[in-house]
């Protein structure tokens, strides 16, 4: 019996994932706002906006105990994953912790800018070409280090000034693939104009292709400026998956009325500089965490919708979004009581 107990406590080669805490980004922690905005006018909100998390048992140094891994095989609320699928063998648990902290900080910075820009405040940043590929027309004209200043259709006379990623993305969203554009750049301190054709988006996990086109280059964002300050009190949670909910919470503070009235809404998803919402891991556990906190609606990245099927808590609506504007519409629609124009994850998969 002693040997059996010892064996069950030995680390396995697996990580066990389960439901983590759900935190209302509009709430307070020991009297301090979880997310506080200063230096600009802010407004109180009655809306509960829950960021959802996953709890992991086991880390990059050692897997979960054998007994816990075996138990997870028989429980729907737990998921068992091979240790080396989760963590490469060249990373320690401390390395992973640092990476997750960096990802969280990056998501918080992005969320702040996207929220301010969505609320109509002036924002700015420097967009610098970080990498090119000769497989794309842009790769034959642009160079790493080029600073993007403006863009236009080559057939037009006037340039569109670019001071944020969203401005560039909005231009490209309205531009069909294989359209020639001319980009005004700063290269080694000099103004340079380069012309090339845009390319189409790739299909996402659901086979959907975004409208418009892309440049086909990597862009680094620097010198981000917003008119206010944002402070976060989030301990022991890492990764980028709270980005969307942080953005909604900050936007809620920057606008007069409660974004979702008195509703309790949860969600998850990364946030990009252009406002796009990206996929995350462990959404089945996050749905359960949301339900435990009374959320009636859940905002999910469209690319994660397939993973929600069969895990929807009873009575909970799971809405699919691809952008922060769509996520905001979900919250506003729940407030109004009219969700007829929203797309649920089940609807998305049935009509894709």
CATH number at residue 137: 2.30.42.10
- Neighbour order of strands in the sheet with 14-24: 79-82, 14-24, 48-57, 264-267, 297-301, 317-321
Position 212 scores a pLDDT of 96
Query: Is 7 within the bounds of a domain?
Result: no
Query: Is 36 within the bounds of a domain?
Result: yes
- Tell me 154's DSSP state: T
Domain boundary among 208, 225, 242: 225
Query: Is 187 within the bounds of a domain?
Result: yes
Do 215 and 276 fall within a single domain? no
H or E element, residue 331 = helix 324-336
* Residue range of the domain that includes 309: 16-121+227-351
Do 295 and 341 fall within a single domain? yes
Query: Is 283 within the bounds of a domain?
Result: yes
Position 3 scores a pLDDT of 40
Do 176 and 232 fall within a single domain? no
pLDDT tens for the chain, 352 residues: list them: 444 444 455 666 777 777 889 999 999 988 899 999 999 999 999 999 999 998 877 676 666 677 766 776 767 777 777 767 666 777 677 876 788 788 888 999 999 999 999 999 999 999 999 999 999 999 999 999 999 999 999 999 999 999 999 999 999 999 999 999 999 999 999 999 999 999 999 998 888 999 999 999 999 999 999 999 999 998 777 789 999 999 999 999 999 999 999 999 999 999 999 999 999 999 999 999 999 999 999 999 999 999 999 999 999 999 999 999 999 999 999 999 999 999 999 999 987 6
Tokens describing residue 181: 């554009």
Position 1 scores a pLDDT of 44
Which CA distances in Å does 48 have to 107, 185, 331, 337, 338? 20, 44, 10, 16, 18
Query: Is 117 within the bounds of a domain?
Result: yes
286 catalytic residue (yes or no): yes
Number of CB atoms found within 10 A of residue 222's CB? 10
Specify the pairing of strand 14-24 against strand 79-82: antiparallel
Do 147 and 213 fall within a single domain? yes
Helices 93-118 and 243-254: crossing angle, nearest 10°?
Answer: 30
* Domain count across the chain: 2
Position 29 scores a pLDDT of 84
Do 69 and 150 fall within a single domain? no
- With beta carbons less than 8 A apart as the criterion, state whether 144 and 132 touch: yes
Position 263 scores a pLDDT of 97
Do 232 and 331 fall within a single domain? yes
Query: Is 214 within the bounds of a domain?
Result: yes
Do 173 and 283 fall within a single domain? no
Active-site hit among 258, 286, 335, 344: 286
- Tell me 16's DSSP state: E
Do 117 and 132 fall within a single domain? no
Query: Is 11 within the bounds of a domain?
Result: no
Do 138 and 47 fall within a single domain? no
Q: Give 271: exposed, middle or buried? Use CB within 10 Å, 0-12, 13-18, 19+.
A: buried
Do 40 and 152 fall within a single domain? no
Domain boundary among 225, 247, 274: 225
- With beta carbons less than 8 A apart as the criterion, state whether 151 and 182 touch: yes
Do 170 and 206 fall within a single domain? yes
Q: How far apart are alpha carbons 238 and 94 in whole angstroms?
A: 12
Active-site hit among 12, 45, 213, 241: 241
Domain boundary among 201, 225, 249: 225
98 catalytic residue (yes or no): no
With H, G, I as helix, E, B as strand and everything else as coil, classify residue 165. helix
Query: Is 4 within the bounds of a domain?
Result: no
Q: How far apart are alpha carbons 327 and 91 in whole angstroms?
A: 35
CATH value at residue 25: 3.30.230.10
Which CA distances in Å does 25 have to 31, 90, 121, 308, 321? 13, 35, 21, 23, 19
Do 196 and 273 fall within a single domain? no
H or E element, residue 67 = helix 66-72
Which CA distances in Å does 226 have to 117, 118, 219, 251, 258? 8, 12, 20, 13, 22
Which CA distances in Å does 246 have to 2, 69, 255? 48, 33, 14
Number of CB atoms found within 10 A of residue 295's CB? 25
Polymer length of the chain: 352
């Amino acid at each position: 019996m002693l040997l059996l107990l010892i064996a069950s406590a030995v680390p396995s080669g697996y990580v066990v994932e389960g439901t983590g805490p759900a935190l209302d980004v509009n709430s307070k922690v020991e009297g301090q706002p979880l997310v506080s905005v200063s230096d600009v006018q802010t407004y109180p909100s009655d809306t509960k906006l829950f960021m959802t998390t996953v709890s992991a048992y086991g880390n990059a140094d050692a897997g979960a105990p054998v007994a816990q891994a075996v138990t997870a095989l028989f429980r729907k609320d737990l998921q068992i994953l091979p240790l080396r699928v989760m963590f490469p063998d060249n990373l320690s648990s401390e390395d992973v912790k640092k990476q997750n902290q960096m990802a969280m900080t990056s998501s918080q910075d992005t969320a702040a800018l996207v929220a301010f820009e969505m609320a109509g405040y002036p924002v700015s940043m420097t967009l610098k070409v970080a990498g090119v590929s000769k497989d794309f027309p842009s790769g034959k004209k642009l160079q790493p280090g080029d600073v993007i200043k403006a863009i236009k259709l080559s057939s037009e006379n006037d340039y569109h000034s670019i001071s944020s990623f969203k401005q560039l993305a909005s231009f490209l969203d309205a531009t069909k693939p294989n359209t020639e554009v001319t980009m005004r750049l700063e290269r080694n301190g000099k103004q340079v104009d380069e012309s090339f054709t845009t390319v189409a988006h790739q299909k996402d996990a659901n086979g959907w292709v975004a409208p418009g086109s892309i440049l086909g280059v990597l862009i680094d964002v620097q010198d981000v400026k917003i008119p206010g300050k944002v402070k976060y009190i989030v301990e022991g949670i890492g990764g980028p998956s709270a980005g969307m909910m942080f953005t909604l919470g900050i936007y809620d503070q920057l606008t007069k009325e409660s974004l979702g009235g008195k509703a309790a809404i949860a969600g998850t998803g990364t946030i990009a500089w252009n406002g796009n919402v990206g996929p995350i891991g462990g959404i089945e556990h996050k749905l359960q965490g949301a339900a435990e906190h009374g959320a009636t609606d859940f905002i999910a990245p469209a690319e994660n919708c397939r993973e929600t099927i069969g895990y929807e808590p009873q009575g909970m609506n799971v809405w699919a979004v691809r952008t922060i504007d769509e996520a905001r519409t979900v919250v506003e629609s729940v407030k109004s009581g009219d969700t007829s124009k929203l797309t649920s994850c089940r609807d998305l998969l049935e009509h894709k």
